[in-house]
């Protein structure tokens, strides 16, 4: 599939934009110098266990410890997703190793993502170490995988081997677009430590550009797949989204955090029951806009154009009939 003149011009402008504004080219190292008692390291709105009455009764120090451990998981997740999932697929595209050819300029843009993501992982690890030195608080045992990795592992056996890399590529396109939403949400909260706010802001600026790049990747890939290949992938995407948007890893980590701040087993069960509701993806859609954001991204990329694929999403109540 060729690439038209207008798109080529757009991609060239994107390269120029990367040269000017990417974090690795335009931002200094973010150095954590002090922590104000009024600041916290992670958005309270994104960690509901910190707002539960049983946790509030433990006092401010316990809340701050919960938010600090939540920061460690957030940074660890960034380092994992950037150096493992995203980089694996991005390098395959950049090196023209997929069964489907990609335009040269788009491959060049994806290579800038590889550079950015390695830097994001470096910044996340660097900031985590700075926080540990300053606070004296070490991370709990952090998850060794990610929900996107779990979702990929669950989906691959449902597809023929020749479509595994296509599924992985689509997974990264989805992840890059949903990660950006997470970063924007984090950035909106007041009271965050200013150095973390700067680190997150740098990352967010890069990820907005990555959203556009991976939107192009998905549209191009979907356009060169056969109808049979699209339908095979489309049939597994609802289950993939259910696994990807699952909070199972977060739930276990929250259990560990609550034990760390001194709650007993019965209290932990009470807090988890109130903050981690058992619900299917369609129900989760009613309380978290990330579901609609991901589905809309797929729709805008042409994934739901085929009636058979759209019906699979309708059957799971991920789109309206």
Kindly report which listed range (3-7, 254-258, 286-290) carries the lowest average pLDDT score.
3-7
Q: What is the mean pLDDT of the chain?
A: 88
Are 174 and 294 in contact by the 8 Å Cβ rule? The answer is yes
Share of the chain above pLDDT 70, in %: 93
Kindly report which listed range (21-30, 82-91, 218-227, 271-280) carries the lowest average pLDDT score.
21-30
More confident residue, 71 or 36: 71
Q: Which two tokens stand for residue 7?
A: 């798109």
Number of domains in the chain: 1
- Give the pLDDT band (50/70/90) at residue 191: confident
| CATH code for position 108 | 1.10.620.20
Instruction: Decide if 8 is inside a domain.
Output: no
Are 215 and 301 in contact by the 8 Å Cβ rule? The answer is yes
Instruction: Decide if 103 is inside a domain.
Output: yes
- Give the pLDDT band (50/70/90) at residue 10: low
pLDDT tens across 200-221, in order? Answer: 888 888 888 899 999 999 999 9
Give the Cα separation of 89 and 102 in Å (integer): 13
Instruction: Decide if 191 is inside a domain.
Output: yes
Q: Where are the beta strands (DSSP E) in the chain?
A: none
Residue 149 pLDDT greater than 60, yes or no: yes
Give the Cα separation of 23 and 18 in Å (integer): 9
Instruction: Decide if 6 is inside a domain.
Output: no
- Give the pLDDT band (50/70/90) at residue 167: very high
Instruction: Decide if 10 is inside a domain.
Output: no
**pLDDT at site 184:** 67
Handedness of CA 44, 47, 53, 57 (dihedral sign): negative
- Which residues on neighbouring strands pair with residue 192, listed in sequence order? 40
Instruction: Decide if 14 is inside a domain.
Output: no
- Which residues on neighbouring strands pair with residue 40, listed in sequence order? 192
Instruction: Decide if 1 is inside a domain.
Output: no
Report pTM.
0.87
Instruction: Decide if 19 is inside a domain.
Output: no
Task: Look up the domain containing 87 and give its range.
Answer: 39-315
Using left for φ > 0, alpha for ψ between -120 and 50, and beta otherwise, residue 59 falls in: left
- Give the pLDDT band (50/70/90) at residue 5: very low
């Amino acid at each position: 599939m060729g690439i038209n003149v207008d798109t080529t011009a757009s991609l060239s402008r994107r390269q120029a934009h990367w040269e000017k504004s990417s974090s690795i080219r335009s931002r200094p190292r973010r150095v954590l110098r002090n922590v104000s008692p009024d600041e916290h390291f992670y958005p309270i709105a994104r960690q509901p266990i910190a707002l539960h009455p049983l946790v509030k009764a433990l006092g401010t120090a316990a809340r701050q410890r919960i938010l600090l451990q939540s920061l460690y998981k957030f940074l660890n997740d960034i380092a994992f997703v950037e150096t493992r999932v995203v980089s694996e697929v991005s390098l395959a595209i950049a090196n023209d190793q997929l069964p489907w050819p990609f335009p040269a300029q788009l491959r060049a843009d994806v290579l800038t993502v590889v550079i950015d993501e390695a830097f994001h992982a470096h910044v996340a690890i660097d900031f985590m170490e700075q926080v540990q030195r300053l606070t004296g608080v070490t991370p709990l045992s952090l998850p060794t995988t990610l929900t996107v990795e779990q979702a990929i592992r669950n989906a691959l056996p449902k597809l023929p081997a020749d479509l595994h890399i296509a599924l992985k590529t689509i997974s990264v396109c989805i992840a890059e677009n949903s990660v950006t939403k997470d970063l924007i949400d984090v950035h909106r909260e007041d009271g965050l430590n200013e150095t973390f706010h700067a680190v997150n802001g740098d990352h967010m600026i890069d990820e907005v550009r990555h959203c556009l790049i991976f939107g192009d990747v998905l549209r191009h890939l979907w356009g060169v797949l056969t109808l049979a290949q699209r339908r095979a992938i489309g049939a597994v995407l609802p289950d993939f989204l259910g696994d990807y948007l699952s909070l199972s890893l977060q739930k276990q980590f929250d259990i560990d955090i609550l034990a760390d701040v001194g709650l007993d087993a019965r209290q932990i069960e009470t807090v988890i029951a109130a903050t981690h509701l058992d619900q299917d993806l369609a129900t989760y859609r009613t309380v978290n806009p990330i579901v609609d954001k991901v589905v809309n991204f797929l729709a805008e990329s042409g994934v739901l154009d085929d009636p058979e694929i759209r019906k699979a999403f309708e059957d799971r109540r991920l789109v309206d009939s």
